[in-house]
Structure 1
Amino acid sequence: MNSDSSKRNAVDVAIIGAGPAGAVAAALLRRAGRSVLVLERQHFPRFSIGESLLPQSMAYLEEAGMLQAVVEAGFQYKNGAYFVYRDQHSSFDFRDKHSPGWGTTYQVERAVFDDVLIRGAAAQGADVRFGHTVRAVQTGAAPRLDVVDEAGHAYQVDARFVLDASGFGRVLPRLLNLESPTRMPTRAAIFSHVRDGLTLDASDRNKICIATHPERRDVWFWMIPLAGGRSSVGCVAEASFLDVPDEAREATLRALIRQEPTLNRLIGDAPFLMPVNRIGGYAANVERLHGPGYALLGNAGEFLDPVFSSGVTIALRSAHLAAHTLNRQLDGATVDWSADYDVPLRKGIDTFRAFVERWYTGELQDIIYYPDPTPSIRRMICAVLAGYAWDESNPYVADPVRRLNALHEVCKPH
């Protein structure tokens, strides 16, 4: 990895952003023999939110040649999720699911995880440049990027194709005016890390905890145990609910944690290990995930909500689909980016969206806490929670809206 702007500036593929989508796409393209340049405006390692992976992600890391490095990094093992609401509890073991494939994964500090991935891409021959910002783009048959490094040196990159993996930076949607309204309400999150001091019998460190506020079912918390005796903890709500001055964030998060009985018992007084951060307005959408000479990966195209930790899985799925589509195009085949990339990627996104929307109405919560679930249906729900949102052998993927609505009629309180 380097920051020398005199390096080769004509490449097969230019990738904007060195996060998980960019790193995995770069590795997959390098494994097919493409020349790849990754442009990242920040320096790694750097903090990022989105710390609980889903098992579906593991297949993409394996395909990109990164699985061993991730396994050896010492992250917290994860095998499921458990939900709490007042005195109700419901636990899902991702190994007991409808879909074949990985049933375990990790809960990660993203600064380390993202650094492991992009170093893996660089080790496979990707040219990675940190501190380089894309200022303008020309799309079409001969894409060109205008780039500036931290020293103010400007240069151009000619590529056969551009992938935007810039995450919440959303570089191409901003530069090309691709944004479209999202159907998701404006929500925000406040969060930090704590020294949790959890004993083995206090909580299942191998699962993410998702807790609903006892008085407001549209307000929820995450607790993600990480390696080294710390946990990520946060609260998500409509933005106005968390609209407090910066100096009041710590007291606000502490008060909210104490209002939820399970979190109060586990980490109510645990010291915060970093300032309480806020992220808001993260839901995003575009009309199309591709255009002449470019495609959008992961959060650069669409982000729903953090409740089911789907962000990294969607990002890696997008990298996988885009790399395979692009490799066929660069080999001279005629590809249909809508049919080969946009439509199949959105299938899984729409599955997650159906689950997210029903989480906030409370319908999915009724399903999750239903006391007498049918085992086969529970395994189908578990498969989606584990990230298998593209497996259309699962009725809750093939037709999620109708199936969830019908299931709620059975599970709703009477």
Structure 2
Amino acid sequence: MLVTKQTQGAPATYDVAIIGAGPSGSIAASLLHQQGKRVIVIEKQDFPRFSIGESLLPACMQIIAEANMLEAVNKAGFQFKNGAAFSHKGQSSQFDFTNKFTQGPGTTFQVERASFDKLLADTAQSQGVEIRFGESVEAIDLSQEPKLTIRNRDGQVYSIQAKYLLDASGFGRVLPQLLDLEKPSSLPSRTAVFTHIRDNIDASIADNAHFDRQKILISVHPENKDIWYWLIPLGKNLCSLGVVAEPHLLGDAKQNLQEVLLKMLKQEPSLNKLLANAEITRECASLKGYSANVSTLATDKFALLGNAGEFLDPVFSSGVTIAMQSASMAAKCVVRQLNGEQLDWDTEYAKPLMRGVDTFRTYVEAWYDGRFQDVIFFDKPDEKIKQMICSILAGYAWDEANPFVNDSERRLNMIVELCR
């Protein structure tokens, strides 16, 4: 039998209800609160909680600053990051994010998401945002203003009313499931298997491998370019390690995940040598069929943020950047609507957001079909072109002054032909 928390009177009312207190939810809540809007965030889990997406991009820093959270993030002691390194069969390539086409921050952090997400949520709360942890959204009624039915950790069910609704539920994808918005992704189904390790990397081996703790390392399988590995330094002697491939390439599904990861690691000799003394520190996990899409990103009653709308692939660490960018863009639109403006959400939010997402998509697709790998490992790159591509890898995928954003597919193909 359901126990109702509010037995009398109308549901509590808010300007904006947000589902999820991850990066997009906490930042959207902060931005809206700063504009004097009454916001509530409903988060199913308790923080801290484990999540992947640990390598931020410099473009994130602008939005973190916009939410008045930069000081807290800078003081937290996360691993400094200034670029990305790529490795394949003895070839290596590095991108220095400070040497890019687009103006803006060129450095960021690699973070344990459990502590990073908690820091953002705690900072939003310290600013005055109301966040309710351990509560889940059971139903949505959009017949008038959004009405949410919520179950708390004690099993009590209650309702709240809001003038607008943001879904920042990430892979939980609450609104896509409740409103039947799910749509197949254009990308093939892939699986990531990952863990945390004490890397115990020998200094001499690191020097010989040109390993830089201030950069994410992406290693390509020597025989199959469709398989790649991430190594994300998270601090002294701690790394996130993962492998990504189509499921059939990971071997016997009956193997446990640690066996799968270690077997795949042995197939990449340079990475295996670098991590010869590594120790796994947490149970291996997997994320399957993670690419997702939706039929509708936003209406005059709701908008989807980050992974709740579309997730591409972890290869260029675009997930958190898209989440934060969507939070910033949606918050501005929500404020305008709440202040009385008539908005076309497709024109004002969905299409502008997707311009950057589609830029990332160009490079994700070209990574897996080999075109972009040919560009990355080309040994005589044009410096100006590399700066333009570096801007995209640094997260500035919405800078339409960058020719490789404004006309991403054609420009990339042109460079592919030159490199080949």
Q: 1:342 aligns with which of 334, 347, 350?
A: 350
Give, in whole Å, the separation in 2 of the partners of 1:246 and 1:101: 47
Residue 94 of structure 1 corresponds to which residue in structure 2? 97
In structure 1, distance between residues paired with 2:254 and 2:111: 26
Give the structure 1 partner of residue 29 of structure 2. Answer: 26
Following superposition, which runs of at least 4 residues in structure 1 exceed 6 angstroms of deviation? none
Whether the 8 Å contact between 2:300 and 2:345 is mirrored in structure 1 is: no
RMSD over equivalenced CA pairs, Å: 1.6
Q: In structure 1, how many angstroms separate the alpha carbons of the residues matched to 2:12 and 2:236?
A: 42
Aligned counterparts of 2:290 and 2:321: Cα–Cα separation in 1? 17
Structure 2 vs 1, CA of residues 158 and 217 (structure 1 numbering), >3 Å: closer, same or farther? same
The reply to whether residue 278 of structure 1 matches residue 286 of structure 2 is yes
Matched letter for residue 301 of structure 1: G
Q: Does the aligned pair in 2 maintain the 1:289–1:296 contact within 8 Å?
A: yes
1:364-403 equivalence runs, <5 A: 364-403=372-411
**Local SS of the residue matching 1:211:** strand
Question: Which amino acid in structure 1 is aligned with residue 320 of structure 2?
Answer: V
Shift of 1:268: 3.2
Residue of structure 2 in register with 1:152 after alignment: 155
CA distance in 2, matches of 1:197, 1:51: 20
Give 1:200 deviation, angstroms: 5.7
Q: Is this contact kept in 1: 2:64–2:70, CA < 8 A?
A: yes
- Between 1:207-216 and 1:260-269, the stretch displaced more is 260-269
Tell me which residue corresponds to 1:130. Answer: 133
String of CA shifts for 1:1-34, please: whole Å, max 9, x gaps: xxxx77x831110000010000000000000011
Q: What is aligned with 2:145?
A: 142
Rate the CA distance shift 1:243–1:262 in 2: closer, same or farther, 3 A: closer
Q: Could you list the per-position Cα deviations for residues 133-178 of structure 1 after superposition, in whole angstroms to 9, with x for gaps in the alignment?
A: 1010012541100000111100001000000000000000000000
Q: In structure 2, what is the equivalent of residue 325 of structure 1?
A: 333
The answer to whether 1:180 aligns with 2:188 is no
Cα–Cα, structure 1 residues 32 and 243, in superposed 2: closer, same or farther, change >3 Å?
Answer: farther
* 1:194 counterpart residue number: 197
Query: Which amino acid in the other structure matches residue 185 of structure 2?
Result: T
Alignment of 1:184-333 (within 5 A): 184-198=187-201, 202=206, 203-242=211-250, 244-245=252-253, 248-333=256-341
Counterpart-to-counterpart distance in 2, 1:362 and 1:286: 27
Residue 12 (1) aligns with residue 11 (2): no
Say if 1:27 and 1:199 are closer, same or farther in 2 by CA, change over 3 A: farther
- Inter-partner Cα distance in structure 2 for 1:315 and 1:210: 22
Structure 1 unmatched ranges of 5 or more: none
Q: What's the TM-score, normalizing by structure 2? A: 0.95
- TM-score, with length taken from structure 1: 0.96
SS of corresponding position for 1:279: strand
CA distance in 2, matches of 1:27, 1:258: 45
Q: Distance in 2 between the 1:327 and 1:156 partners?
A: 23
Conserved in 2, the CA contact under 8 Å of 1:16 and 1:163?
yes
Query: Using the alignment, how far apart are the partners of 1:244 and 1:102 within structure 2?
Result: 44
Give the whole-Å Cα distance in 1 for the aligned partners of 2:128 and 2:255.
45
Q: Deviations for 1:54-94, whole angstroms, at most 9, x for unmatched residues?
A: 00000000000111111111100000000000011000000
Question: 2:67: which partner in 1?
Answer: 64
2:57 corresponds to 1:54: yes
AA at the equivalent of 1:393? A
- Equivalent position of 1:358 in the other structure: 366
Amino acid of the residue matched to residue 388 of structure 2? M
Aligned-partner Cα distance in 2 for 1:230–1:104 = 20
CA contact (8 A) 2:199 2:277 kept: no
How many residues align? The count is: 409
Worse-matched range after superposition: 83-92 or 269-278: 269-278
Q: Give the corresponding residue for 2:112.
A: 109
Using a 3 Å threshold, how does the CA distance of structure 1 residues 162 and 200 change in structure 2: closer, same or farther?
farther
